[in-house]
Copies of this chain bind each other. A is one copy, B any other.
Amino acid sequence: MHTFEELSALFSEKFDKSHFPDTPRTLYEPNDYFLSLGGKRLRPILCLMANELFGKISSDAWQVAAAIELFHNFTLIHDDIMDKAPLRRGKPTVHTKYNESTALLAGDVMLIRAYQYIGTIDVTLIQRILHLFSHTAAEVCEGQQLDMDFEQRADVTFDEYLTMITQKTSVLLAASLQLGGILGGGSLGNLDLLYQAGKKIGLAFQMQDDYLDAFGNPEKFGKQAGGDILANKKTFLLLRALETATRGQKEELDHLLRGNEPEKVNKVLKIYRDCKVDEWALELKSRFLSEALQHFDDMAVVSKRKAPLIELAQQLVKREH
């Protein structure tokens, strides 16, 4: 069995090379560039860890892990175009460094490359893997569309937000675990538990992200505190505040959201605290994490094999950056 750090090193060893032909450079250099920006490689490692629950990591699991990471990077390249984001991991995004058409096409070919990796695995498993992979891919697109739709709406409910985040973020973590489990020959019961656990980890992860953006220590977090508030971004925190605020607080919040006064962040944070949104967020995050851990606990797998996944889930949600 391997820890996150060990798998991270092993995955890098295999993955950190070009995944593309040499030419045309105008198309593939942007792909190489974007992948060179790195990342936590969380999703492929979840796949590998889930695979290792059931035995030695299979060669197919490495292929599917690569496919997952390429798929994730495809979504980032295209999301960055849609969000008009200038930076990703502190470096220029593909559409900024090159241009939008190249970024669009680089994303397309990254997705196709992901399917090429899927195409190499054992034929007895390929249909199940392809089905889950494509179903998840479509859900992630749906989540991104809902996210864009919500930007235009003032009446998004907490449940709608939960659905959107589940599709945009959680299902890929869930599928990463289940894909690894399928390749490991996991039982249907265990595969379902892996998927449910992944969804909960995704939600806890997003909650942590929203919380840190508002209440995190900017020095540790490495970003301006209150960025989401300044951008009027819908987050777990804002939606909870809008649902629980008194009429007076809600009016003040609506007023603050419409304007851009210098004290906006602090005033919004005060309302969050007055509504106990901070406490609620930590509690809900803990609940998501406990539920994920319970799913791991329920799996019919020797306990010690579960240790790396449990450790990773706890670390992810504890992170301060």
Contact = CB atoms under 8 A, between A and B. Distances in A.
Interface in A110-149: 111-113, 115-116, 118-119, 123-124, 126-127, 130-131, 134-135, 137-138, 141-142, 144-146, 148-149
Interface stretch (A101-109, A175-183, A267-275, A309-317): A101-109
Interface of A is mostly: helix
Given A24-B142, A123-B127, A148 B112 contact: no
Contact of A104 (B81, B127, B146): B81
Integer count of this chain's copies in the complex: 2
A24 B130 contact: no
A26 B104 contact: no
B119 A134 contact: yes
Interface range, A side: 35 or more
Given A119-B131, A123-B123, A123-B126, A109 B141 contact: yes
A27 interface: yes
Interface string A91-104: 00000000011101
Contact of A145 (B24, B126, B137): B24
Contacts of A101: 81-82, 148
A78 interface: yes
Contacts of A104: 78, 81-82, 104
B82 A145 contact: no
B145 A102 contact: yes
B27 A142 contact: yes
A144 B111 contact: no
Contacts of A111: 108, 111-112
Contacts of A144: 105
Contacts of A118: 130
Contacts of A137: 112
B119 A78 contact: no
A178 to B, nearest CB: 16
B105 A145 contact: yes
B109 A138 contact: yes
Contacts of A107: 108
A105 B82 contact: yes
Given A109-B141, A123-B127, A142-B27, A134 B149 contact: no
A182 to B, nearest CB: 14
Nearest to A82: B101
B123 A124 contact: yes
Given A78-B104, A126-B126, 8 more contacts: A23-B142, A24-B146, A26-B149, A27-B142, A109-B141, A112-B137, A115-B130, A116-B138
Which 9 pairs between the two chains have the least Cβ-Cβ distance?
A27-B145, A119-B130, A82-B101, A109-B141, A112-B137, A116-B134, A112-B138, A115-B134, A26-B149
